[in-house]
Amino acid sequence: MAAVKKTLPRRQFDVVVVGAGGSGMRCSLQLAQAGLSVAVLSKVFPTRSHTVAAQGGVSASLGNMSEDNWYWHMYDTVKGSDWLGDQDAIEFMCREAPNAVYELEHFGMPFDRNADGTIYQRPFGGHTANFGEKPVQRACAAADRTGHAMLHTLYQRNVAARTQFFVEWMALDLLRNEAGDVLGVTALEMETGEIYVLEAKTTVLATGGAGRIWAASTNAFINTGDGLGMAARAGLPLQDLEFWQFHPTGVAGAGVLITEGVRGEGGILLNKDGERFMERYAPTLKDLAPRDFVSRSMDQEIKEGRGCGPNGDHILLKLDHIGAETIMKRLPSIREIAIKFGNVDPIKDPIPVIPTIHYQMGGIPTDINGQVMDWANGQNKPVHGLYAVGECAATSVHGANRLGTNSLLDLIVFGRAAGNHIVASHPERQHAHQAIPESSIEHSLDRVDKLETRASGENVYEVHNAMRDSMQAHCGVFRTLKLLNEGVTQMEQIADRCDNVYFKDKSKVWNTARIEALELANMKEVALATTKSAANRTESRGAHALDDHPERDDDNWLLHTMWFSENRRLEYKPVQMKPLTVESFPPKARTF
Ligand SMILES: Cc1cc2nc3c(=O)[nH]c(=O)nc-3n(C[C@H](O)[C@H](O)[C@H](O)COP(=O)(O)OP(=O)(O)OC[C@H]3O[C@@H](n4cnc5c(N)ncnc54)[C@H](O)[C@@H]3O)c2cc1C
């Protein structure tokens, strides 16, 4: 075996970026434009990354259509996060937002326009004027295909800047030396089944979310949390994974997303009595309250017998009253999705919807430059040579609940910031590539070898389904400690099964069975971290709502959860309450 390992093909770059979504490509653009050699890896063609599916918009306080400023945006984001977001990072993001959006505009992103030529902005959940007074128009949109427009714009800019794309390559493991520095990755060329060592002075994880650990999800099939798995196996913590966002409006039975932009354009939620029930739960913001709030209200309606349909198991999203013209102009893809997946034409009939898993607020901990932070002896410890950006990172601007349109913003603000920080610190990393310890490479190869040589064992699909069903049953919109603890026990058993998966077809070329087995190993880390972190937090905050502990507990829980794969251990880190330049927003009751 050792002889084979020595002959692994190698390539060298200044920077390897794992992931070609909005965050990875915003980062790589900054690097390539500065003249660094940059490789961007992606499991799919770059413009098929999940960012392409983003519909509603990207937030920035441009104030094109109603008065706005970044400080209100900051307040909304802190409150939306239920005070678990780090206020330094939130200030940075909201201040940078207008510049980041104008930059995209100048890159050629085809935003919708107002009559005066400025960027069109629609209202979105939890975004308000004057500290919660009324909804504000802050979501910059390209119809209901904002992510599509953003991703294609960034791809074209990267091609022009000579970023090197490795399309249909799957990164497997981080390579670290004794000091813990990250020196690159092992990666599988999916077409040939060959494994390469990609040496890098800096590695950036931009692998997106892991929504596929759930049965009903708005996420793409490739969203399997690979970057989180890689970080966890390399001994790094995963932060705040008990916080997962259920989007209020997935098409019932299908999971496909109906953007919050529908409610931004005037759509409303109705129960079986035809009542606009959000007026009762959130008198000021109504249907445009933040997502955790709306999802819980919908769940409550269904539980109390006011759900729609023969089984009383969904809610209706009505938008016919906004008119066919607005629907065709502002929400053309939504109409198509409703017809294809919900079997209704929203110009005439309401869409059956249900809260559906959508976004992971937690991830790989970083500072505001995107540099990954280990957590040891009660201190942040920078990991040399490793950055994380986008949905896989916990920077942490979204805290316990993300506001709609703040993710696309997070991608471009922190993708750019990480790029700038890498360029600025590159001179000191100009040295030749450091030697990668053989043991680090072997560790990764052994993992793959075990899969290749196993002659019997568990079926990948069956284990994945067991994981998805367990997550769905134990980690829902409303949770109880009993359910969560049962979930932990189940997930530990499922994790053992993940370690024993087997596939029959061992061929190398385009073997999707191998890829799915490798993805399952990553999902295992995310699912374990999620259940364990959730079962240990005895309060309700943001998207983590416990029926048996319904109150937020700021005295004991203004803390980030840090989960370590080794010994499946938990630690806690204080939330950064101090912004960069302004006064802190102290916690207060969260009503809308
Ligand atoms: C349906 C939908 C609609 C949304 N709408 C909005 C919206 O309107 N506004 C908003 O702000 N947010 C929205 N979001 C959220 C937002 O789109 C995502 O959080 C964001 O796009 C994630 O971007 P990313 O760059 O982190 O990763 P992604 O775009 O998910 O890209 C991940 C990349 O990593 C690559 N990758 C993963 N693993 C590996 C590996 N092992 N090796 C190599 N490459 C790998 C993938 O191939 C891909 O290129 C939406 C999300 C969904 C699912």
According to the 3-state scheme, what is the secondary structure of 226-267? HHHHHHHHCCCCEECCCCEEEEEEEECCCCCECCCHHHHCCC
Residue at token pair 């898993």: 357
Question: How many A from CA of 412 to the centre of ligand 1?
Answer: 12
Contact 418, 389 (CB under 8 A): yes
For residue 176, is it within any domain?
A: no
Q: How many domains does the chain have?
A: 2
Question: How many A from CA of 388 to the centre of ligand 1?
Answer: 13
208 lines ligand 1 (CB under 6 A): yes
245 lines ligand 1 (CB under 6 A): no
Question: How many A from CA of 57 to the centre of ligand 1?
Answer: 14
Q: Alpha-carbon distance 135 to 72, whole Å?
A: 11
CA angle (181, 413, 165) in 5-degree steps: 60
Residue at token pair 């399309």: 167
Instruction: Report which DSSP code applies to 20.
Output: -
Q: What is the pLDDT along the chain (592 residues), one digit of tens a residue?
A: 444 445 799 999 999 999 999 999 999 999 999 999 999 999 999 999 999 999 999 999 999 999 999 999 999 999 999 999 999 999 999 999 999 999 999 999 999 999 999 999 999 999 999 999 999 999 999 999 999 999 999 999 999 999 999 999 999 999 999 999 999 999 999 999 999 999 999 999 999 999 999 999 999 999 999 999 999 999 999 999 999 999 999 999 999 999 999 999 999 999 999 999 999 999 999 999 999 999 999 999 999 999 999 999 999 999 999 999 999 999 999 999 999 999 999 999 999 999 999 999 999 999 999 999 999 999 999 999 999 999 999 999 999 999 999 999 999 999 999 999 999 998 766 777 889 999 999 999 999 999 999 999 999 999 999 999 999 999 999 899 999 999 999 999 999 999 999 999 999 999 999 999 999 999 999 999 999 999 999 999 999 999 999 999 999 999 999 999 999 999 999 999 999 999 999 999 998 9
pLDDT at 6: 53
Closest CA to 402 of 246, 506, 287: 246
Q: Which of 355, 383, 408 is the last residue of a domain?
A: 355
Closest CA to 293 of 434, 188, 176, 404: 404
237 lines ligand 1 (CB under 6 A): no
Q: Residue 36 — left, alpha, or beta (φ > 0 → left; ψ -120 to 50 → alpha)?
A: beta
For residue 283, is it within any domain?
A: yes
147 lines ligand 1 (CB under 6 A): yes
Question: How many A from CA of 402 to the centre of ligand 1?
Answer: 15
Q: Which of 338, 355, 372 is the last residue of a domain?
A: 355
Compute how many other C-beta atoms are within 10 angstroms of the C-beta atom of residue 33.
17
For helices 406-425 and 87-107, what crossing angle results, to 10°?
90
125 lines ligand 1 (CB under 6 A): no
CATH of the domain at 262: 3.90.700.10
3-state secondary structure of 180: coil
| pTM of the full structure | 0.97
* Residue among 47, 49, 153, 219 to mutate when testing ligand 1 (max atoms within 8 A of CB): 49
Q: Which of 287, 321, 355 is the last residue of a domain?
A: 355
Question: From start to end of 130-210, where are the E strands?
Answer: 134-140, 164-167, 169-176, 182-189, 194-205
For residue 134, is it within any domain?
A: no
459 HSE (CA, 13 A, CB side): 4
Q: Which atom of ligand 1 is nearest to the CA of 358?
A: 53
Q: Find the domain containing 507 and state its range.
A: 438-555
42 lines ligand 1 (CB under 6 A): yes
Alpha carbon nearest to ligand 1 atom 20, residue: 51
Residue list for the binding site for FAD: 19-24, 42-57, 226, 391, 407-408
Question: How many A from CA of 107 to the centre of ligand 1?
Answer: 20
186 lines ligand 1 (CB under 6 A): no
Residue list for the binding site: 19-24, 42-57, 226, 247, 259, 358, 391, 402, 407-408
43 lines ligand 1 (CB under 6 A): yes
Alpha carbon nearest to ligand 1 atom 21, residue: 51
For residue 261, is it within any domain?
A: yes
Q: Residue 378 — left, alpha, or beta (φ > 0 → left; ψ -120 to 50 → alpha)?
A: left
391 lines ligand 1 (CB under 6 A): yes
146 lines ligand 1 (CB under 6 A): yes
* Residue among 124, 154, 207 to mutate when testing ligand 1 (max atoms within 8 A of CB): 207
Q: Alpha-carbon distance 558 to 83, whole Å?
A: 8
519, amino acid identity: E
331 lines ligand 1 (CB under 6 A): no
Q: Which atom of ligand 1 is nearest to the CA of 392?
A: 26
Closest CA to 87 of 579, 590, 580, 588: 579
257 lines ligand 1 (CB under 6 A): yes
For residue 103, is it within any domain?
A: no
Contact 247, 405 (CB under 8 A): no
Question: How many A from CA of 164 to the centre of ligand 1?
Answer: 20
pLDDT at 432: 78
Closest CA to 447 of 484, 402, 498: 498
For residue 388, is it within any domain?
A: no
Q: Which atom of ligand 1 is nearest to the CA of 410?
A: 11
Catalytic residue IDs:
291
41 lines ligand 1 (CB under 6 A): yes
- Does the CA dihedral 399-51-371-584 come out positive or negative? negative
Alpha carbon nearest to ligand 1 atom 13, residue: 54
Question: How many A from CA of 394 to the centre of ligand 1?
Answer: 14
Q: Alpha-carbon distance 204 to 31, whole Å?
A: 11
CATH of the domain at 484: 1.20.58.100
* Residue among 155, 165, 408, 523 to mutate when testing ligand 1 (max atoms within 8 A of CB): 408
- Beta-ladder partners of 135: 128
Q: Residue 266 — left, alpha, or beta (φ > 0 → left; ψ -120 to 50 → alpha)?
A: left
Compute how many other C-beta atoms are within 10 angstroms of the C-beta atom of residue 363.
31
pLDDT at 4: 45
For residue 135, is it within any domain?
A: no
Q: Which atom of ligand 1 is nearest to the CA of 22?
A: 25
Q: Which atom of ligand 1 is nearest to the CA of 220?
A: 53
For residue 74, is it within any domain?
A: no
Alpha carbon nearest to ligand 1 atom 14, residue: 54
Question: How many A from CA of 209 to the centre of ligand 1?
Answer: 6
Question: How many A from CA of 207 to the centre of ligand 1?
Answer: 7
